[in-house]
């Protein structure tokens, strides 16, 4: 039981660390894709270990209630990990810097 608790803690820590550092790993499309899939697999493995820990009556950081909500959170992390960081922002309009740049380019073309 103690080894399963340690494994669950290690996987939780690795999942959190990768989540924090995912932007650093997303410098290129290939590395972003690789980091996203690593995050998905790691989050799902963490979820499974937490469910098994809960079913065996184990505790995480001294709490018997913590594995279930963390397992659900890991499932959410797995879904969110596939969101593209470099994706296009279609929910908002252009920012002021883009508008000024576009205005300068259109003024330069008309001259």
How many beta carbons lie within 10 A of that of residue 93, not counting itself? 8
Q: What is the pLDDT of residues 56-93, one digit of tens each?
A: 888 888 878 888 888 898 888 888 877 765 554 444 55
Question: Which helix or strand (DSSP H or E) is residue 4 part of?
Answer: helix 2-21
pTM of the complete model = 0.66
Burial class (CB in 10 A: 0-12, 13-18, 19+), 66: middle
Instruction: Tell whether 93 is covered by a domain.
Output: no
Q: How many domains does the chain have?
A: 1
Enclosing domain of residue 35: 2-87
Instruction: Tell whether 104 is covered by a domain.
Output: no
Would you place residue 45 in the very low, low, confident or very high pLDDT band (cuts 50, 70, 90)? very high
Q: From the DSSP assignment, how many helices (H) and strands (E) are in the chain?
A: 4, 0
Would you place residue 41 in the very low, low, confident or very high pLDDT band (cuts 50, 70, 90)? very high
């Amino acid at each position: 039981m103690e080894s399963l608790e340690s494994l669950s803690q290690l996987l939780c820590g690795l999942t959190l660390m990768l989540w924090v550092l995912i932007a650093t790993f997303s410098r290129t499309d290939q590395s972003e894709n690789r980091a996203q899939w690593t995050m998905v697999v790691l989050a799902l493995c963490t979820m499974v270990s937490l469910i098994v820990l809960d079913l065996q009556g184990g505790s995480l950081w001294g709490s018997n209630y913590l594995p279930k909500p963390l397992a659900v959170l890991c499932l959410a992390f797995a879904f969110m990990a596939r969101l593209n960081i470099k994706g296009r922002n279609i929910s908002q309009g252009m920012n002021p810097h883009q508008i000024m740049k576009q205005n300068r380019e259109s003024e330069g073309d008309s001259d």
